[in-house]
Structure 1
Amino acid sequence: MQAASALFGSTTYPAIIRLKPRKGPSPAIVVAAAAGTTSTSTTESMAAKWAQKTVVIPPQRRGCHLITPKILREIEQDLSGFKCGLAHLFLQHTSASLTINENYDSDVQDDTETFLNRIVPEGRSAPWKHTLEGPDDMPAHIKSSMFGCALTVPITDGRLNMGTWQGIWLCEHRDHATPRKIVITLNGM
């Protein structure tokens, strides 16, 4: 139980991997030889590791918000320790969503919000049964399912390996938002 609770910090954890014995040199030594090195530190640097952190995004107005800079500030120390891997972002909410899209022109964020509001009806004339939490709640659940609550981004040389014009968006689908929690898990070498 203590080990499980430790996962919720931002500490990096080495993974234990057991391989079947085989003939010939270990894969780490083969990689080291191909790279022209023979040190045992290569074996250690090739070990898989994990890091995890929960990032809290303050309440945002309804719409799509570029959050890449905030995410990077929060994980940069852990991220820098990975040569190759994956970053998994998981939003712990059902009325907001995550997506990767345009990071330069904010008109794209506004146009995406316009599209979502046109495609998912809201208000008294909307056909939704679930209205206990307000007229924007059920449309928010549908919009959240459309974009999803999770992203996976490759890590290369200590950075998120996204395209030049790509950014991470938090899409807030409620009129009166609460802080949003994103669990970020880094895995790699």
Structure 2
Amino acid sequence: MHAAATAPALAPPVLLPLFLPTGAGSSARPRRAARAAVRCELAASSAAPAAAPGSVAAPRWAQRTVIIPPQRRGCHIITHKIMHAIRSDLSEFKCGLAHLFLHHTSASLTLNENYDPDVQTDTETFLSRIVPEGPSAPWRHTIEGSDDMPAHIKSSMFGCALTIPITDGRLNMGTWQGIWLCEHRDYATPRTIVITLSGI
């Protein structure tokens, strides 16, 4: 007959001294309560043995900078421009994250519809209505024109960064998702985007 299997033995309990703060005027000797101890039962680990050296893929990093030429005011799909810049690096990643960071305060990045251009038009209409411009607008920061402060507000609404998962050498976005650059100025300048890839 085979001997019955026994549960793994537990390691001996460890006593961890718990020193409590002393009150004003007390002696240097720890108070009686400071001699309390916490008993920790350290069970034998049931985790799988550590992987052999070299069996875990080392982290990988890559970074590219993309400069988007000046765009008219509105929302623009730039997925193809981003992919053109990172395609060769992206193919080296099995799993990871792509982080996009925009270097500007009067434009923004977001993920949205990549099929019907009416969504881009409607989004610009929404932004223009919710953030007023012109002489009646309450903004004080108008150094560069009536669209100056509204552009900053819109930039904060959508943000200047995106994080997208990488799976098997591709950006793991939904079928109808595209990367948008939203230009909030009437007279735009080139926009710089730093793309950082990390993973394995």
Bigger radius of gyration, 1 or 2? 2
Please point out which of 68, 71, 74 is paired with 1:57: 68
Q: Identify which of structures 1 and 2 has the higher relative contact order when contacts are C-alpha pairs closer than 8 Å and 6+ apart.
A: 1
Please point out which of 109, 127, 135 is paired with 1:116: 127
- Name 2:81's counterpart in structure 1: 70
The amino acid of 1:26's aligned partner reads A
Question: Structure 1 residue runs of 4+, over 4 Å off?
Answer: none
Matched, 1:186 2:197: yes
Q: Secondary structure at the match of 1:123?
A: coil
Structure-2 separation of matches of 1:132 and 1:152 = 33
Matched, 1:146 2:170: no
Give 5+ residue unaligned stretches, structure 1. 1-22, 30-38
Q: Secondary structure at the match of 1:133?
A: coil
Query: What count of residue pairs does the alignment treat as equivalent?
Result: 154
Q: Secondary structure at the match of 2:157?
A: helix
- Residue-by-residue CA offset, 1:40-95 (whole Å, 9 max, x unaligned): 5x43xx11111011100000000000000110011001111000000000000000
The amino acid of 2:66's aligned partner reads V
- Name 1:26's counterpart in structure 2: 50
What is the deviation of 1:26?
Answer: 3.1
Structure-1 separation of matches of 2:50 and 2:99 = 29
Structure-1 separation of matches of 2:49 and 2:60 = 22
Structure-2 separation of matches of 1:136 and 1:88 = 28
Alignment of 1:1-189 (within 5 A): 25-27=49-51, 29=52, 40=54, 42-43=55-56, 46-189=57-200
Structure-2 separation of matches of 1:150 and 1:78 = 20
Structure-2 separation of matches of 1:58 and 1:123 = 27
TM-score, normalised to structure 2, is 0.74
Aligned Cα root-mean-square deviation (Å): 1.5
TM-score, normalised to structure 1, is 0.78
